[in-house]
Chains A and B, each alone.
Chain A
Amino acid sequence: MTEEIIIAGFGGQGVLSMGKILAYSGIMQEQEVSWMPSYGPEMRGGTANVTVILSDDRVSSPVLQSFDTAILLNQQSMDKFESTLKPGGLMIYDPNGITRHPKRDDIRIFQVEATAEAARMKSPITFNMLVLGAYIKVNPVVDFENVILGLKKSLPQRHHHLIPKNETAISRGMEMVHEAKRTP
């Protein structure tokens, strides 16, 4: 198994830390992992993306042109990465703020209304965990328990009181995710 994922959105949406938790979850599941961020001033209020690879074998290239999964959290990311999905690939996106929805018909497309739900939960910082939950529901490459272990590993001790809240958000994301209706 090798799963090549791109996660992209605004800086501040927790894109990089979501990738990190996913990579840690992979380690907990005895996988080989890599996490390669976009870096630099581009991130200051702009867009951020990270490539995460989970594999049973040694990870070769940490930079890729095409992906098995794309998790897209704003319009720029949608515009940039929709075309990079491999045929049969998986897209998960938050429809919030999206005006040009995906068009491809050779991929599986799911939605999770994470922005709205995070606002409803009055917990904007758990936005990325809702999305992570959605992902592991649709594509269970890592087990829920290992995600929680990964979460513990990647959060510094002083933030461990936030774990239950994040756990709830992951579960909520798993419940909420649904297949996108095709806009004709």
Chain B
Amino acid sequence: MNLTLKIWRQKNNTDKGGFKEYKITDISEDMSFLEMLDVLNEQLSTKGEDPVHFDHDCREGICGMCSLYINGNPHGPQQTTTCQLHMRSFKDGDTISIEPWRAKAFPVLKDLVVDRSSFDRIIQAGGYVSVNTGGVPDANEIPIPKSIADLAMDAAQCIGCGACVAACKNASAMLFTSAKISQLALLPQGQVERKIRAENMVAQMDAEGFGACTNTGACEAECPKGISITNIARMNREYFSAVLSSDTV
């Protein structure tokens, strides 16, 4: 395949940045999108140019590092991570536009790399269980119905990639935050800190400068892990029942 790439290049956080066009030839349609970028970067390095910086780690769809806003969708045309996107999703002769995630809370560090530590700070605000839950319990010792455990597992699938924020017209992080609140609110281990967790994580999400939710559902449609917006409804319930009944004044 021969392709034209329009890639966002930006030296650093303060640089204004802009698009640069690259022609690339002989791309196999069995390559992943990131492998295609590897080929481009090798060519750039050989020519002595600065390679295109982009985030990636596992390359098997589980870490959430790979980002990239491709042709107007987070992770491109398929509902998957960029590392799991293959070049067969494109046609020979296509022009592909590649931009970084855009959000005030995700500042661009260089080229396509953004700083997603705002997600880490939301987790630090309460996305964990700090009470001592003891050793690994016997599978049947914790009384939790399978249907509830499944819901918790569905929420726990979130890999924190940030596609929800990237897709949302408001750059809202509600799908991420609600998944992280839900996975613990549904399980017995999460009960002790349930209220303070909901209050603190929502407060941190707001402090980071993410937008509010308009319920457009774009996040759910773009999430590579299929996290449902029923989690956002659950977060709203968790948050309001927490503020109404907690001891925090």
| A and B associate in one complex | no
